[in-house]
Amino acid sequence: MDKISEQTGMDIKTRRQIIGVSQRVLAEEAEVSYRTVLRFEKGGHIREKKFEKVIRALERLEQSGRKPGLWWLSHKEIGQGGK
């Protein structure tokens, strides 16, 4: 892991947590896999195209405002088999 990608991943994780969305919601909004978001937040390497998608999706979510409970709802849906 290089320091730049590690720092950027931590910044993305912090920004995502501030607006209260899960990794899965961010992945769906960015149209990338959940594992891509996970890998990126841990400082791993992802393709530049996917990186740009994640950044743009995060910016859209930030502009739309904080969504209280969205993080919890996304995990609740997973636990109930998508119901």
What's the pLDDT tens digit per position in 57-77? 988 888 886 655 555 455 555
Give the chain's length.
83
pTM assigned to the model = 0.68
Top-tier CATH class for 3-79? mainly alpha
Q: What is the pLDDT of residues 19-63, one digit of tens each?
A: 888 899 899 999 999 999 998 888 777 888 988 898 899 888 888
- Cα angle 6, 34, 30 (rounded to 5 degrees) comes to 85
